Amino acid sequence: MNIIVTGGAGFIGANFVYYEIAKHPEDRIIVIDKLTYAGNLQTLAPLEGKVNYRFIRADICDKDAIEDIFAQEKPDIVVNFAAESHVDRSIENPQVFLETNIIGTSILMDACRRHEVSRFHQVSTDEVYGDLPLDRPDLFFTENTPLHTSSPYSSSKASADLLTLAYHRTYGLPVTISRCSNNYGYYQFPEKLIPLMIINALHDKPLPVYGEGINVRDWLYVEDHCKAIDLIMRNAEPGEVYNVGGHNEMRNIDIVKLILKYLDKPESLITYVTDRKGHDLRYAIDPAKIHEDLGWLPETTFDKGIQKTIKWYLENQSWWEPIISGEYRDYYEKMYGNR
The residues that are catalytic are 126-127, 153
CA 73, CA 75: separation in Å to the nearest integer? 6
Around 130, how many Cα atoms within 13 Å sit in the side-chain half-sphere?
9
Beta bridge partners, 177, equal: 122, 241
Distance CA 42, CA 135 (A): 43
| CA separation for the pair 80, 123 (Å, rounded) | 6
Within 10 A of 286 (CB to CB), how many other CB atoms are there?
Answer: 17
Tell me the β-bridge partners of 57: 33
